[in-house]
Amino acid sequence: MPHDVATPAETELNVAVLVSVGRHPLTARARRADQDARAVEMALTLPDADVRLIHAGRHDDDSDSALRGYLGMGLASIGLLEQPSGADVVPALAAVLRDASPQLVLTGARAETGEGSGLLPYLLADWLGWPIVTGLAAVESVEHGMATVLQALPRGQRRRLRVRLPAIATVESSAPAARQSAFGPARRGGFDPETRDGVRDDALSEWHVQPARKRPKRLKIVKAASARDRFKAAAAKAQGGGGQVLEGATPEQGAEAIFKLLEEEGVVRRS
Amino acid sequence: MSDIVRRDPRREWIARNRLHPEHLAVRVDPHGTASPSEWPGPNGLTRRNPRAVGFIGPNGIKRIDRSGAQQAATQSGGRQAQPKDTRRRVDIDAPDFLVAVVPDMPGGRLSSHDRDLLGMARQLADADPERPGAVLAVVFVEPREAAFDEAGIDRLLSLGGAGEDGGGDARFDGYAPEARVAALQAVERELAPRHWLLPDSALGGADLGRRLAVRLGERPATQVWQIEADAVSETDWRCIARGAAGGTDMTRPLPRVAMALAECAEPVSETRHAARPVELTQGPPQVLARIEDLGAVAVDPAGVALGEAEFILSAGNGVKDWEAYHRAARILGATEGASRVAVDDGFMPRDRQVGATGTWVTARVYVAVGISGAIQHLQGIQSCEKVVAINLDGGCDMVKRADLAVIGDAGEILAALVAMVERYREQQQENRDAA
Ligand SMILES: Cc1cc2nc3c(=O)[nH]c(=O)nc-3n(C[C@H](O)[C@H](O)[C@H](O)COP(=O)(O)OP(=O)(O)OC[C@H]3O[C@@H](n4cnc5c(N)ncnc54)[C@H](O)[C@@H]3O)c2cc1C
């Protein structure tokens, strides 16, 4: 559904965002999922994009208020595929996407409820035969059926990728934060129900699920033959060991040694 | 050198014979080793010189170490300078099955996450001593100082590496998940490992593992943090995996493909493995890449959070010319850090302080300029991989911690380094223009 009905331009980019019902980490209440909301935000900031939201799952009171969180970001409606709870939503979503044929599908990297394995985008990509890119930080440009995107790497680094469209891209918490959800649009927005046959996920119901246990903290075990070695290991200051010391060298020689190390580690950029 | 004590009967005889002309020389050192405090006397009795026991400590005071370590060191001379490797060597000739591990190897080294994962692979491989499995590591990057044998790898399939010269394959460099998955599928076809284990790390194994699982048609276990033997399960193992954004624990049979979290198992420490190279008979297949890596994007290093930064140039009380320091950080493309003194004196903002009361940094390369290495500061850089110290004082703690220490004036060395980097960039630019 176009969120901006006024200008249906010719070059419009067709974007579908897959959204799920999240769960607040502390209160456990249903809410819009954080990563999915970031995906919606990214889609809404794309120029000339026709954004369409799709949710597959049950529609009840809880999920209604959570899904309205997305509508409150400024969308008129959400496409809703009613599925029983605990269903495998991949076949239904793949069928819908095949029919709608968007150029870009955005979604959060993993769900906040259920198995939360983050496998769904990969399965969809495999079903549809589209490429998939993870950790999207920004879409720079879309032209000639190719998108140039920035991928967020650990440590705040970015990598530029070019992907052939149509493609699926997942968004993690490194993407820009989602805008607030406004109450008025959230009330006004509606749902476009669509029915697809659900497939039960039998394996999931066979697993034993319990609230997460705290993981045991790893102890530092010192394997030493004698008490003296164990004491030394426990009381030792950081001693590096085997470090190279350049003493009495000229500043140029010192700088050269440092430069060599920096280059070996690949931290100095070429330009 | 071996540790077998070689006896020299002639020298022993001279040592017992007080009238022998060489007696005095030999008495000091009857076995050819320096042990002046103890020797066999003429009647077969052991004689001791209590004054020759012990050593002179750092403060000029005589110390006697009764733990035996000192004694051993003096007795065997240079022999024990290197602690003997007591780890058992393991070489599995005909493995019953393979456990394939695809380590991330950031920077060409096995990360601690990779080592934990290899520890888990060993649990799977060594469960049945009658029918041992072998751990196969599939490596896509050029290894650097990667101690494969110590980490518990029996078979090593090295696919990546330098593009033109190293005989490796440039196809796998950078972000090339499609080529990598195709190669892993080739491994699956030829070697058919029983288990696939990958680290569940952002953009490393997490991405690759999910792609692989989908291609193999397996439903993988993700965020696994423990595995246990389980006779009921199909694969004889069950695993505990985090679900619902870390909110639940799911206990389920271990599938063929699993992605595990850090600290999922203890890393291997007691054995050394053969790390025998293996090769694919057909070589990895060519794939049509629909994702093209256009390379890293220069990000403003000042905008990177200190705790996340990869390369930090940290300044302490030894920095005098702050303008030059800021310029050096800008030209090197390093994130700025500081010691507490530099912050307290108002030269650097508070959020740049590294150490116990500042930020614990995880940089791969940490350059400490004029920082003495107080324990509060060293705590903050515990997890840094390479530490470079620039300091006037060759005896300070930072130099002891550093992998490379340059003794000299910080200002001069930084200036030389900046000049070198600028020259290097100019050359690169010229080369590019010429090409
Ligand atoms: C409770 C507590 C918490 C603390 N927490 C922290 C913390 O989180 N982080 C922290 O950093 N500190 C912390 N400190 C302070 C810490 O103990 C040290 O005082 C501080 O780290 C020293 O900083 P520095 O190495 O820059 O200065 P100094 O110790 O003065 O060292 C300066 C170094 O520069 C060298 N130098 C001098 N001139 C030159 C030159 N021209 N060229 C090259 N080298 C030169 C000197 O040889 C010397 O090694 C804490 C202290 C306390 C008591």
Backbone angles phi, psi at A49, to 5 degrees: -110, 140
Interface mutation target, options A162, A262, A264, chain B, most CBs of B under 10 Å:
A262
Q: Which of B376, B373, B406 is nearest to B391 (CA)?
A: B406
**What are the sequence ranges of the domains in chain A?**
11-205
Bridge partners of B90?
B273
pLDDT at A11: 65
Q: Which residue has the tokens 């000192």?
A: B70
Task: Given CATH 3.40.50.1220, say whether it is the number of domain B301-429.
Answer: yes
Contact A223 B246 (CB under 8 A): no
Segment A74-84 shows an average pLDDT of 88
**Contact (Cβ atoms closer than 8 angstroms) between residue A207 and residue A94:** no
Q: How far apart are CA B233 and CA A108, in angstroms?
A: 32
A36 touches chain B (CB under 8 A): no
B296 touches chain A (CB under 8 A): yes
Contacts of A227 in chain B (CB under 8 A): 67
The CA B387 to ligand 1 mean position distance, Å, reads 16
Q: How far apart are CA A31 and CA B104, in angstroms?
A: 34
Between B395 and B3, the higher pLDDT residue: B395
Superfamily (CATH) of domain B88-277: HUPs (3.40.50.620)
| Range of lowest pLDDT (A8-12, B183-187, B347-351, B394-398) | A8-12
- In chain B, % of residues over pLDDT 90: 31
User: DSSP secondary structure string, B46-79?
Assistant: EEE-GGGSSEE-TTS-EE--TTSHHHHHHHTGGG
- pLDDT over threshold 80, residue B217: yes
A214 touches chain B (CB under 8 A): no
Cα B10 versus chain centre, distance: 49
One-letter identity of residue B14: I
| Equal fold, B88-277 vs B301-429 | yes
Superfamily (CATH) of domain A11-205: HUPs (3.40.50.620)
Q: Average pLDDT over chain B, rounded to whole?
A: 83
Q: Looking at chain A, which residue has its C-alpha nearest residue B396?
A: A239
**What are the sequence ranges of the domains in chain B?**
9-72, 88-277, 301-429
Give the model confidence (pLDDT) of B6-48 as tens digits.
778 888 888 778 788 887 777 666 555 555 677 766 677 877 8
Q: How far apart are CA A119 and CA A117, in angstroms?
A: 5
- Sign of the alpha-carbon dihedral angle for B242, B247, B252, B256: negative
Q: How far is A59 from chain B (nearest CA, A)?
A: 19
DSSP state of A119: -
Segment B241-267 shows an average pLDDT of 88
Q: How far apart are CA A194 and CA A198, in angstroms?
A: 12
pLDDT at B371: 94
- In chain A, % of residues over pLDDT 70: 89
Q: Average pLDDT over chain A, rounded to whole?
A: 84
- pLDDT over threshold 50, residue B215: yes
Classify A177 as helix, strand or coil.
coil
- Which ipTM value was assigned to this complex? 0.84
Q: What is the pTM of this model?
A: 0.74
| Range of lowest pLDDT (B117-121, B128-132, B407-411) | B128-132
The CA B341 to ligand 1 mean position distance, Å, reads 6
**Contact (Cβ atoms closer than 8 angstroms) between residue A110 and residue A146:** no
